[in-house]
Amino acid sequence: MVDSADDVAYLASLYWVPLDRWQVELVRDWSGEQRSGKWAASTCGLAAPRQNGKTIGVEVWSLYKMTVMGRRILHTAHLAAATRKTFNRYKAAFTNPAFPELRDMVVSLRSANGQEGIWLSNGGSLEFTTRTRGSGRSYSIDDLVLDEAQELTQDQLDALMLTMRASPSGNQQIIYLGTPPGPSAPGEVFTALRNKALKGRPRRLAWSEWSVDEVGDVSDRARWAATNPALGTRISVMGMADDLVRSTPESFARECLGWWRPAAGSQAVFSTNDWAPLATAEPPMAGIVAFGVDMPPSRTSVSIVAALRPATGPVHLEVAEYRSATSGAAWVAEWIAERWPATVAVVIDAQSPAAALIPELLERRVQVTVTSTGMFTRACGMLHDAVKAAAVTHYAQPALDRAAVSAAKRDIGAGGGWGWQRRGETDISPLVAGTLAYYGVMTSKRRPGRRTRVVTRR
């Protein structure tokens, strides 16, 4: 196997900044080629504490790819400020009078916000975008850089993957850069990639990480040195000491020592012993009804769960619809609209893919309760307490049963709130929809004027 690490390091010394030894070895992992000329690692991931210079390595590797190899690259980040900052470093290099070799290669350089990019005479290019659900759809690239990968969501990645389908080179590479996800970061994509690396698959995945296994003694400077390859150069011991004073042990371990919080998904919230005894074949016959609607990140299905609250006794949950959405979900609005006159609430979370259905529901004069982050965490807590207190019933429906005993907690914000998190491959959208329905039927003040019975096709 051959690599370009030494050539990249030489290029860095001429036009960028000299690479540290660890950065050179990082590029060696990324630049290795098989005999066929294909990358040995088509997917690369780097997780390290902040300020060590993660981005520098990928910047120089991208510089080499575009100038020497003529490759087309898309650099993405979570925040516009981050993409702009990176672009400005390239702009400074390609417009520097001291670097005529780079200046002479430039065919076009665009600086407008949201349209930053550099195009070269050899066909190479480097474009920049801030990630959204639709970002990347107008690009055709060879290589994709995902900076701040701890903030990357599956929806964003799905949109960006479209840019790789018509790769000019037919030899794509994706590089993820980030830190261990904090409580408010999505983290699902970056964490899933790390888990694959720890399990040794797939073969063409290169993963590099500097981290500690536990919070431990955060004042131990030997641990600082072991997890911060730039300590003593880009990072000062005094600066880390100051960070220690300002941080909790957990946040210092995560941000400065690369500690990955144990996966919330390692333990289900509800056991079978919690959930199974609540099943009933004789639900209440009348009461007020609310519906919750949810979709998984993949948008492959739609879950509609009804919550029936009788005058006395526990709330009853049942899956009213659980359908494939591979051909679309236009039917949902009509289905809900038909039942709205006898419904106290229709609830959808603002962060759910199902939020895309809200405009169609509003057109049909359905009043949708859209939960904020605070409302959603409250809803999860309410259903959690109801299940633990045996104050809710449900039909023994496989989709809801699987979701209930598979879901774990995902921390949301810094106030102790949490939401449901998937474990493994199980779709937990029926549980999320049930949570929203429960919240709606317990909090809505709307009264349609008549009672109704929920009828489900089982």
pLDDT of residue 449: 64
Q: pLDDT band at residue 261, thresholds of 50, 70 and 90?
A: confident
| Alpha-carbon span 208 to 197, nearest angstrom | 9
In this predicted model, what pLDDT tens digit does every residue of 176-200 receive, in sequence order? 999 998 876 778 889 989 988 988 7
Cα torsion 109, 111, 114, 117 to 10°: value is: 20
| Alpha-carbon span 141 to 165, nearest angstrom | 9
Locate CATH 3.40.50.300 in the chain. 5-209
Position 40: which residue type?
A
Q: Lowest-pLDDT range, 67-71, 157-161, 233-237, 402-406?
A: 157-161
**Contact yes or no for 172/212 (Cβ under 8 A):** no
Instruction: Please provide the size of the chain in residues.
Output: 458
> Considering the entire predicted model, what is its pTM?
0.62
Task: Compute the average pLDDT of residues 14-29.
Answer: 95
CB within 8 Å of 244: residues ≥ 6 apart: 218, 219, 252, 256
Q: pLDDT band at residue 452, thresholds of 50, 70 and 90?
A: very low
pLDDT at 365 over 60: yes
| Alpha-carbon span 396 to 275, nearest angstrom | 10
pLDDT of residue 424: 64
Q: Which residue has the tokens 């429906």?
A: 397
Position 35: which residue type?
R
Collapsed DSSP state (helix, strand, coil) of residue 225: helix
Residue of higher predicted confidence among 222 and 166: 222
pLDDT at 46 over 50: yes
| Alpha-carbon span 262 to 259, nearest angstrom | 9
pLDDT at 458 over 50: no
pLDDT of residue 52: 93
Which homologous superfamily does the CATH classification assign to the domain defined by 5-209?
A: P-loop containing nucleotide triphosphate hydrolases (3.40.50.300)
Q: Would you call the peptide bond into 202 cis, given omega within 30 degrees of 0 as the criterion?
A: yes
Locate CATH 3.30.420.240 in the chain. 272-443
- Report which of 123, 121, 63 is spatially closest to residue 93, judged by C-alpha positions: 63
Beta strands in 295-375 (DSSP E): 301-309, 315-324, 345-349, 368-371
Q: Lowest-pLDDT range, 270-274, 325-329, 396-400?
A: 325-329
Alpha helical stretches, state H, 32-153: 54-68, 80-94, 100-105
pLDDT of residue 94: 97
Per-position DSSP letters for 186-224, written without gaps between them: --HHHHHHHHHHHTT-STTEEEEE---SS---TT-HHHH
Task: Compute the average pLDDT of residues 80-104.
Answer: 94
Burial class of residue 282 (count of CB atoms within 10 Å of its CB; 0-12, 13-18, 19+): exposed
In this predicted model, what pLDDT tens digit does every residue of 308-327 receive, in sequence order? 999 999 999 999 999 998 88
**Contact yes or no for 392/316 (Cβ under 8 A):** yes
Task: Compute the average pLDDT of residues 146-154.
Answer: 91
* CATH class, range 272-443: alpha beta
Q: How far lies 107's CA from each of 117, 123, 292, in Å? A: 11, 9, 53
Tokens of 121: 């005479």
Q: What is the mean pLDDT of the chain?
A: 90
